[in-house]
Each structure stands twice: as C-alpha cells, then as structure tokens.
Chain A
Amino acid sequence: MSPIILNIILQSTLQTLEMVFASTAISVVIGLPLALFMITTGPGGLYHLPFAARIVGILVDALRAIPFIILLVILIPLTRFIAGTSLGTEAAIVPLSIAGIPYFARIAEVALREVDSGLIDAVKAMGGTRLTIIRSVLIPEALPSLVGSLTVTLITMVGASAMAGTIGAGGLGDLAIRYGYQRFNTTVMMDVVAVLIVMVFIIQICGNALARWLKH
C-alpha cells in the first residue's frame, strides 16, 4: 500500500473518531437529562408532569423516526446556521448529535428504568429529596447500564458518520465511497472496512470492561 493511501486512511480515521466522539459527547450531555426527565415525570415518577412527559416522548420518537440520511438533508439549513457550512467534519457533528440525542435518551431511559424502585423508596424513607434520589440513586445505580448505552451509541455513531460521509462530511465513509464505489478501488474499501471493524471492537471491549468495573 502506498504511503499516500495510508496517510489518507489515517486522516479519515481521525475525522471519523472526531465525529463519533464529539457527537456522542453532545448526545450524552443532552440525552441523559432528557432520559432523566422522561423517567421522573412519567407514570409513577418522582414528579407528576404526565403532559410534559408525553410531549417530550413524542418529540424524541418523531426525531428517531426520521431515517438518518434524510435527517442529514433536512438539517442542512440548521447545520449552516450553527457551523457556518454544511460541509466537512465539524459540520457533520450537528446532524449526528441531533440523531444521537433521542437515540441515547431512549436507551438511557431503559437503563434508568431498571433501577429497583425499592432503592428509591428507601432513600425517600430516609428523608432524601428528589434531587438526592436522582443524584445518589438513579444515576449511580444505573451507571453500568448507562455505560452500555454509551457503547451502543458510540457504535451507532460510527455507522452514522459513514453515512454523513456521503454528503461531504469526510471520514472513513467518505473515503470508502469515493475510492471503493466511484473509483472501483476495492482494496481501499476493504481497508476502510477493516479499520471500522477494529474501531467497533475496541469501543465494545472498552465499554464492557468499564461497565464490569463499575458493577463492583
């Protein structure tokens, strides 16, 4: 393999990693509070706001219903507004995050729902406030599962970032399409696939190890 190709693959890998980690970080920062909101305002939750819970639930599901490739196109004006351009790696972080937020929110919600309601009762009975329950029970007890949600989101973002590549985001997806599809350079495409597989494996192994460590 020529050093030029190798350099391009390395460049693209870094771009993909940037997209994946940046958009996942944004998804967690906004998605986790959303998940907490859905879990605490839903039926039997700590706060009684069924109407607000319903609205947020509908918004989250509506966003998740839109196929990512279409979301990419719909969001071009928003991307331009935020990033100043609709092309390039940084710009792709906008649609990736907007797809990632509801995705992470829903799987984090499942993780939080798994927390034993007896623990919430116990802390309530100790005189804990709702904020204490969220901080000392919900989040720490769900943490190993939340790490699992994070792993799944990261891997989903790897796939989504490749799709973003088709409309000019750069990264491994872009590389595979340009060389493999448009120039019939199968070798480069297979290299890209290998890099993606290794990337996903590493993410999964790290995620599992972290979750296991957190479980004590």
Chain B
Amino acid sequence: MTSPILDVRHVSHRFRGHLALDDISFAIQTGEVVGLIGRSGAGKSTLLRCLCALERPDNGQILLNGEDITTQSESHLVKVRRRIGLVFQHFNLLNSRSVAGNIALPLQIAGCSRPKQKKRVEELLDLVGLQGFDKKYPSQLSGGQKQRVGIARALAANPSLLLCDEATSALDPESTASILNLLTDINRQLGLTIVIITHEMEVVRSFARRILALDHGRLIEDGTMVDFLSDGGQKKTLQPLLADIRPKLPADLARQIVAHDSPNATIVMRVVHSGEGVLPPFFGMLAQRFNLEATLLQGGVTTIGDQPVGDMIISLHGERRDEAVTFIKNMVKSMEVLGYVPHHP
C-alpha cells in the first residue's frame, strides 16, 4: 500500500478548557471518500481546523503527504494550506467579488498570471456546471449554486485533499443531492481525496465508502456503512447517529413489545445484511424451511456504494421460531433481538 495522503497520529487538543480531541488516529489513502460524522460538540470542527492547519493540536502529529504540519512555522503553513481545499457550510464567498473573482482568489494568492487564472476559472465553471455564471455576484445565486462556486474555488489551486465542512447542511434536499453527485463525480474524474464532515448520517450513507465517527472527542468507529449498521446494536454511542436513517419500530408495536420471551410469542428483531444473498426471497425461504410466518415490519434493501444492504425489522412467529433465529444469525451480517410480543401482532 502506498503511503497515506493524510495520516493523523494520536492527536489530542484542548478547546476552551475541555478535551475536544482525545487521541485520534486514522489514515486516509489517496482517492478515498471519507465521511466524518459526529453530533455537535463531538470535536468535528476542531479536528477540521487541525486538518487544514488553522489550529495546531496540543499533541500528536498530522502528516499531509508525509509532511508533519503540526510542527511547521506559520509562514510555511501558508503554503501547506494551499494544498488543501476547503468547502464551507455557509459558502463563505466574497460578496464584493463576482463568481469568477471568487474562484480566482486562491489562484491570485498562489501568484498565477491573469491569463492562467482566466483559463482555470473557465475550466472550473465547466466542471461544476456553472458555465456563463462568471460575471454574476454571489447575491444573485441560489444556495446550491453558491456551494458549486465554493467547490470550484476549493479546487482552483489543485489541492491534494478536499475537506467539506457540513457542505450540504445549509441546503435543501434537492441541492444536497446535486452537490453530493458533483463531489462524487469530482472524486471519480480527478481521483481527488475527499473528506466530508457532517452531523447527518443521511449525507454520508450513500456518498462515503468509509465513515469515521467521533463522539466526545474520541474516534468510536471507522468502517463502512454496513459496519456501522451492524455495530449499531452493540455500541450505544453510535445509536444517536444512526437514529435518523434506521427503520424504527412501528409505534403500536413498540407499545406491545416486552423484554422476556413467552410460549407462542412472536420475536421481533433487527437484521442487517449486505452483499449477495440480500435479494433472494428471504422471507419465502424462511417460511418454506421452518414453516413460520416471517413479516417485514419496517425497512428494506438499499444500495450503498455498489452493494445492496438490507436494514430491516422483522418478526417471526411459529413453532420452529428459534431454529429460524439461529439460521438467520449465521446467514446475516448482524442481528439484534428487540423484544417479544406475547400474542400475535
């Protein structure tokens, strides 16, 4: 494996007296798309400011292309920052400059010649789908368009890493989807490494192949969406992050459910499965093999990345229920018993 583009080693940082980052370590390879998720106050923003060299962590190292950015002098950091593109939640475009002027700013800072700037601005407008918008001003654009300008600006100086700080949080669902598509295209076309920081699981679930979760300054999970869904049952800290995107128990059922088993009770469980074997007729197979009633209560199969992932709440009722549970346990990625309903639901 080649050396990682970004290597974070044992980073700790205090912010306003409390430990905002607590011994964080991870590495990101070139071309990866990584989601960094956490609730507000989890330390996301502090980590971001450390990654783009706006803040120096108290302890630990951050290696960008193998170069430790935590020990550089301020004047050298100015150059380091030019290798990182930053996309902001509130766009942070200069209202005094036109779209072209905003996109050209990093080039101007890097000392590019005027004709070069002009050429690059045109390329970037093309890339983000804003041809002909060069003379407009930010106040004339919609949120989604502003963010496209923000992305073009972040890409202007050919950064080796693109950091997106809640880049879609201020946008409506439609613009969010189009911005995420744009970022995916950019990753595919340019092979650019992208880290997207967010508090919404919805944003990263389809977009990032790898997800890092922060909670109270600690890295609590590093894996694929499927890992998140499978570990969600065991790790209590992950549950609030997943709550928005997971199927929930229907309200009337939630009232009936009890923790202990009883004869002839229906078992209710959450099942996560990925890869091959999700799509075959799961329920039919259960019914046939064990002669029981298998019901899908909530959830279904979605495609994450390129693979189908099932996240479902199901209920099983029948004589050979326990055999079926063992069978499912061996077949799926993870399974969690939510409870029992004494009589048939």
Contact = CB atoms under 8 A, between A and B. Distances in A.
Interface residues of A, number: 21
Given A125-B54, A127-B109, A118 B92 contact: yes
Contacts of B253: none
A21 B108 CA distance: 35
A129 B80 CA distance: 12
Interface string B127-161: 00000000001011000000000000100010000
Given A140-B97, A216-B137, A126 B92 contact: no
A136 B82 contact: no
Interface stretch (B83-91, B226-234, B290-298): B83-91
Given A125-B54, A126-B109, A132-B109, A140 B88 contact: no
A118 B48 CA distance: 14
Contacts of B96: 140-141, 143, 214, 216
Contact of B88 (A122, A132, A136, A214): A122
A127 B110 contact: yes
A201 B108 CA distance: 41
Interface string A126-137: 111100100011
A61 interface: no
B78 interface: yes
B72 interface: no
Contacts of A132: 109
Given A124-B54, A125-B52, A126-B105, A140 B94 contact: yes
B95 interface: yes
Nearest to B78: A127
Q: Which of A122, A126, A132, A216 has the most CB of B within 10 A?
A: A126
Contact of A124 (B81, B94, B140): B81
Interface in B48-85: 52, 54, 78-82, 84
A8 interface: no
B38 interface: no
Nearest to B109: A128
B310 interface: no
A215 B94 CA distance: 11
Contacts of A122: 86, 88, 92
Interface string A104-128: 0000000000001011011111111
A127 B108 CA distance: 11
- Interface size class on chain B is 20 to 34
A127 B94 contact: no
A127 B82 contact: yes
Contacts of B79: 127
Contacts of B97: 140
A118 B90 contact: yes
Contact of A127 (B88, B106, B137, B139): B106
Nearest to A129: B78
A119 B105 contact: no
A122 B95 CA distance: 13
Contacts of A116: 90, 92
A121 B109 contact: no
Contacts of A127: 78-82, 106, 109-110, 157
Contacts of B84: 125
A125 B81 CA distance: 6
A194 to B, nearest CB: 38
A187 to B, nearest CB: 48
Nearest to B83: A127
Nearest to A118: B92
Contacts of B95: 141, 215-216
A28 B216 CA distance: 49
B122 to A, nearest CB: 20
Contacts of A128: 78, 105, 109
Interface string B170-183: 00000000000000
A123 B97 CA distance: 13
Contacts of B140: 216
A34 B110 CA distance: 29
Interface in B90-121: 90, 92, 94-97, 105-106, 108-110
Interface in A133-152: 136-137, 140-141, 143
Contacts of B92: 116, 118-119, 121-122
9 contacts: A116-B90, A118-B92, A125-B86, A126-B82, A128-B105, A129-B78, A136-B105, A140-B94, A216-B96
Given A125-B81, A126-B157, 20 more contacts: A116-B92, A118-B90, A121-B54, A123-B105, A124-B54, A125-B52, A125-B84, A126-B86, A126-B106, A126-B109, A126-B153, A127-B80, A127-B157, A129-B78, A129-B109, A136-B105, A136-B108, A137-B94, A140-B96, A141-B96
7 smallest beta-carbon distances between A and B, as pairs: A127-B82, A140-B96, A122-B92, A127-B81, A216-B137, A118-B92, A126-B106
